[in-house]
A and B are shown apart, each in its own frame.
Chain A
Amino acid sequence: MPEPSPEPETLSSPLTPMDGRPDTPGRPVLELRGLSRTYGSEPPVEALREVDLLVYPGDWLAVVGPSGSGKSTLLNILGCLDRPTAGAYLIDGIDVAGLSESERTAERARSIGFVFQAFHLLPHRTAVENVMLAEMYAGGERTGRRERAIAALERVGMAHRRDFLPTRLSGGEQQRVAIARALLGAPRLLLCDEPTGNLDSASTESLMLLFDALARQGLTLIVVTHDEGVAAHARRIVDIVDGRLNEVTR
């Protein structure tokens, strides 16, 4: 019986379209408790110091901070690409900090969608093929994969370009395809690393509108950015300075 377990199905049901503070939903999508990451160089570098963070379903969170403040380290840990040296990282209440590498890999496939500054689209694949790639390692069925990918492209307004190679798309369009790829498989969390870093202002603005729309649909967004304008769109902003996290209240 392929019946999904009833438990943590918060994302697919867009029941949390709250506009303000995360006061309603009971259970956070992710939780950092006293999280630290120290690089073992000489002298040791404390990239993150005792970070605490709660992210609820439907949060649209911007992470800002100067270069070298620990933004990338935080992103890598949130993306299960790196492990903290201390503290706990919970996704849906389950600590993933202590998982083995292959378990973290599976967690990436299942729970996290990545959006990169450099898009990372495969140049020889069409838009829809690039999107389909996301399901390959998550164990999705082959049948209907193309349709699901087209649906994801639909969500980012790129279905009409499904058979284009990335080289024939503008930067903004490429990033939308990359977002569609991240959306495929209904991740718990969309992690964006400077998503507008390679885009002009018009594309950036249009991408922000997309993020707003996705957040309204209940997607949990975490965006690391330099861009004040991008951060201004977020519902929550956290600031990292010297490895310490502070929520910015507006």
Chain B
Amino acid sequence: MRRKPERRQEPRLSVRDLLSEAAAGLMARPARVALTVLGTVIGVAALVATLGLSKTAGSQIVGRFSTVAATDVVITPVPGALGGSQAATAIPWDAEARLQRLNGVAAAGTLSEVDVRGALVRSVPINDPLGQTEVQLPIRAASVGLWRAVRARLATGRFPDEGHSARGNRAVVLGANAARRLGITNLQQQPAVYIGDRLYQVSGLLKSVERQPSLLGSITIPNGTARREFGLAAPASVQVETDIGAVEVVVRQAPTALNPDAPQLLRVAAPPDPETLRAGVESDLNALFLLLGAVSLLVGALGIANVTLVSVLERVGEIGLRRALGAARRHIASQFLIESAVMGLLGGILGTALGVLVVVAVSASRTWTPVLDPWVPLAAPLVGGLIGLISGTYPALRAAALEPVEALRAGT
């Protein structure tokens, strides 16, 4: 409470007065303000929509990957590696057990092509005179764990177990397509198939697999059986299902676990890291559209600068009057700065709303889930305000530099 007639006193202006003066200055020319703000609206909307859409698309990709593909690891010997025969037997028979010991491995099993030297397959005992009785079908050998690793589901029957494999039992699993070709629809009559001239009991009919879909068209026998009957030298590949997010760990450790002597003989096929993939998608999209947004923001900034400058020139008389009434230069400067900052902020808010709408609309049309970083709608209006502040700086300085005498004379 010291508003004494003390002479040497700085001129002052309350913040509320300053804000209401700036608001009144803007309200006086609503149409011009609306048009000026448009550039910033478009720029901020482009930025928000870009960030939102790339995030949304990125999440979409991760969503697809996280189910099957993101946990899929396949290990094979390096083809034609040095020491040929060594490479061909790089995967040991106990691969399954070795991998199960690793953290992050949910299921693992070996899968190999079996060379049956051209042997044909036919089914007994149903004789269908019209159907093909002898067909050529791929024969594969699997370890017990494979079925879990490929997420196989049986239509009927059961998978061969360790015992079958150890004893070399002639038990097979028929893929759905293979069964159809052989005319086998159920196991009620304990069907069997001939591979070449050997009879194999059908123990299970596959309904579906989520990996290695060729299993559906194959006849699969236990590893032990393949070794005994067809002389399979070593498993040809290992199928692994990892825990979610464990791909990287498994990829790093599996070759050593399988073949500590020569891990370099093994090649690991793994899905790309979803984060990397998402980042890739985002940066591709972002680079283009962020540039677009930046350009429109620049245009918006120039618009605000231009209009504020015009407004300063138009209001020279008003500036002179305010100076005569006791406004300091900084009061004049801050009034115009606030006017331009408010225009920018207004553009930022409207642009953010528009950008969010675009993200939601595009997501709706693609049945995506719209995803937006929470800081985007919070920061975007501030970006607009900052743009306004920067563009208003030069006009505000021009206004503050006016000499009151000149301003009063010029502005009538």
Residues of A within 8 A of B (CB): 1-2, 4-5, 7-8, 76, 79, 81-82, 94, 99, 101-103, 105-110, 114, 116, 118, 120, 122-125, 129, 133-134, 136-139, 142, 181
Contacts and interface: CB of A to CB of B under 8 A. Distances in A.
B405 A108 contact: no
Contacts of B2: 2
Interface in B1-54: 1-5, 7-14, 16-17, 21, 24, 27-28
Q: Is the interface of A mostly helix, strand, loop or mixed?
A: loop
B249 interface: no
B325 A133 contact: yes
B386 interface: no
Interface stretch (B225-233, B315-323, B357-365): B315-323
B331 interface: yes
A189 B8 CA distance: 18
The 8 nearest A-B residue pairs measured at CB: A109-B326, A124-B28, A137-B326, A120-B321, A118-B412, A106-B11, A114-B324, A108-B326
B349 to A, nearest CB: 24
Interface residues of B, number: 37
Given A125-B24, A139-B3, A109 B11 contact: yes
Nearest to B408: A116
A233 to B, nearest CB: 24
B328 interface: yes
A136 B3 contact: no
Given A137-B325, A137-B327, A106 B10 contact: yes
B14 A105 contact: no
Contacts of A114: 321, 324-325
Given A109-B11, A137-B11, 16 more contacts: A4-B4, A76-B405, A102-B11, A105-B323, A105-B328, A106-B11, A109-B326, A114-B321, A118-B412, A120-B317, A137-B325, A137-B331, A138-B325, A138-B326, A139-B11, A181-B325
Contact of B324 (A81, A125, A142): A81
* Most chain B beta-carbon neighbours within 10 Å: one of A8, A103, A107, A133: A133
Contacts of A133: 322, 325
A7 B5 CA distance: 10
B404 interface: yes
Query: Taking chain B's interface residues, is the majority helix, strand, or loop, or is none over half, making it mixed?
Result: loop
Nearest to A117: B412
Contact of B5 (A5, A81, A103): A5
27 contacts: A2-B2, A5-B4, A81-B323, A103-B9, A105-B323, A105-B327, A106-B9, A107-B7, A108-B324, A108-B325, A109-B326, A109-B327, A110-B326, A120-B318, A120-B324, A124-B28, A133-B322, A133-B325, A137-B13, A137-B322, A137-B325, A137-B326, A137-B328, A139-B9, A142-B14, A142-B16, A181-B325
Given A106-B9, A137-B13, A124 B326 contact: no
B408 A2 contact: no
B325 A134 contact: yes
A124 B24 contact: yes
Contacts of B14: 142
B28 A139 contact: no
A3 to B, nearest CB: 9
Contacts of A123: 28
B397 to A, nearest CB: 16
